[in-house]
Amino acid sequence: MKTHIKKAAIALGFLALAFGANAQFNIRGGFGAGIVTGPVRIEDIGNRFTEVIEGKTVSGFEAGFFLKAQAGPIYLKPMAMYGFRYGTVSYNSNESADPKDVNFALHKLEFPVLLGVKFLGPFYIEGGPAYNYIFSVTNQYGTNIVDVTQGALGYRVGLGAELGPVILSVNYGGATYRYSGNRATFKEPYKLIFGLGIILGDGPDLTPDRNPE
């Protein structure tokens, strides 16, 4: 899976270079926010635990900025998003036979680079790789400390509609922060993002002059 994501990221990078070199396009900026929900899972946590650490309903929000370079119905959209998620996770340690619950919190930055296509008027579909970096996460589980890998390359796909300056969207994404050294594997197997965006205004129209005087 990780290899496929890397190949997709490389392919998208080459496509972006070709897009920027040859297309007539307009750049717009905007602000977006959304409600995020989905499970989390921590694996490779050693023999201190009898099961993985898992939370099936961890929700939160994200907010950030995006740029959109559009050429006809096709566009490239890099994003910079802050995300917060909060919920309850459960674990079983060797200290007790009963499962325990812990309040779980996660703060991270996410940098998707999406390729999209508009169709049927205001509607669009988009997708691409997303680099994720966790800068704060719950790591205390009873008397045990569990640190997770902080960086991962994931994905994001979605669809939505642009209604004037307002963007309504539904996105689906995920990432696996793989085991490294003494840091456990952290998984966001999937997440749903219900978003609202505002286009702040048009940037320069970067259309080449095909009839220079």
Total domains, the chain: 1
pLDDT in tens, 69-81: 999 899 999 999 9
**Does residue 191 sit within a domain?**
yes
**Does residue 72 sit within a domain?**
yes
**Does residue 102 sit within a domain?**
yes
Check residue 212 and give its pLDDT. 47
Average the pLDDT over 45-72 and give the result.
Answer: 93
Q: What is the pTM of this model?
A: 0.82
**Does residue 213 sit within a domain?**
no
Question: pLDDT band at residue 175, thresholds of 50, 70 and 90?
Answer: very high
**Does residue 119 sit within a domain?**
yes
**Does residue 115 sit within a domain?**
yes
Indicate if the pLDDT at residue 89 is higher than 60. Answer: yes
CATH of the domain at 108: 2.40.160.20
CB 128 within 8 A of CB 154: no
**Does residue 142 sit within a domain?**
yes
Indicate if the pLDDT at residue 185 is higher than 50. Answer: yes
Indicate if the pLDDT at residue 188 is higher than 50. Answer: yes
Residue 79 belongs to what domain range? Answer: 2-204
**Does residue 211 sit within a domain?**
no
